[in-house]
Copies of this chain bind each other. A is one copy, B any other.
Amino acid sequence: MASLRGMTATRHDGRAPDETREVRITRGWLDHAEGSVLVEFGRTRVLCAASFTEGVPRWLKGRGTGWVTAEYAMLPRATNTRSDRESVKGRIGGRTHEISRLIGRSLRAVIDTKALGENTIVLDCDVLQADGGTRTAAITGAYVALADAIEDARARGLIAKGAQPLTGSVAAVSVGIVGGRAVIDLDYPEDSTAETDMNVVMTGDGRYIEVQGTAEGEPFDRALLDDLLELAAKGCADLTAAQRAALASGSEGVAS
């Protein structure tokens, strides 16, 4: 468990504005998947499974490059009240589509598809329990599952010896304006009252992959935007450290 504590606690759960929730990254949670992680940001719990398969989709064949993609979904009772299943409704909702695409783009930003060879990795991020920040937890956990799947493929000789498909690491965190103040890693009660909500995806070396900020209430000015970006940078650094710790531990252990 990566304890990321700091300043004086003043939020509804006692956290400091720049303090993420307790982060737990459990590797090897599944027996079949080439990489798998149960990632927890407080009560938010996402199961990330990386499936490595030889070959690529038809539209990529013969180029010598690989493919990484992601699918995000929520169990019906992940939330406080039950939601209908998208499989039963017969269609994927807009939010699900949007987050799946975000996760895929975020991971591809640290993938050298040439080095991956003609292989495909699918990241399934299934939210078992939701308490705000499911997409940022998913990205943060999926990176670790992805790294494990690549190591597994290397061990099985499916990736060339000297090749390193990973060009960096990725972590993501939400920031927002709650009660007029910038805070990090909003849980559901904070998220549902936030005036502004921003998700930031960054590389381990502090560069941006994705910045998505939305004014839910009042539009925000440049000063607040700068505050949020700074907060996010700190949070992503903390999460990067937690990912490293998890990957440094034994593959079946819990890195936290």
Q: Is the CB of B90 within 8 A of A90?
A: yes
Neighbouring B residues of A87 by C-beta, 8 Å: 73, 85-87, 89, 91-92, 96
Neighbouring B residues of A88 by C-beta, 8 Å: 71, 92
Q: Contact partner of A203 among B36, B86, B207, B219, CB < 8 A?
A: B219
Q: Is the CB of B209 within 8 A of A212?
A: no
Report how far A233 CA is from B212 CA in the complex, Å.
16
Neighbouring B residues of A124 by C-beta, 8 Å: 75-77, 82
Q: Is the CB of B208 within 8 A of A105?
A: no
Q: Is the CB of B31 within 8 A of A129?
A: yes
A128 adjacent to chain B (CB < 8 Å): yes
Q: Is the CB of B212 within 8 A of A211?
A: yes
The residue in chain B whose Cβ has the minimal distance to the Cβ of A85 is B71
Q: Contact partner of A77 among B49, B79, B206, B219, CB < 8 A?
A: B49
The residue in chain B whose Cβ has the minimal distance to the Cβ of A202 is B219
Residue among A76, A209, A215 with max Cβ neighbours from chain B (10 Å): A215
Given contacts A75-B47, A98-B97, A128-B47, contact A219 B30 (CB under 8 A): no
In A129-150, the 8 Å CB interface with B consists of 129, 131
| A94–chain B nearest beta-carbon distance, Å | 3
| A132–chain B nearest beta-carbon distance, Å | 13
Q: Which 10 A-B pairs have the closest CB atoms?
A: A94-B97, A207-B219, A49-B77, A86-B87, A87-B87, A51-B82, A211-B213, A98-B98, A33-B77, A209-B215
Q: Other than the known A77-B124, A207-B215, what 7 A-B pairs have Cβ atoms closer than 8 Å?
A: A47-B128, A51-B81, A93-B97, A109-B215, A128-B128, A207-B219, A225-B229
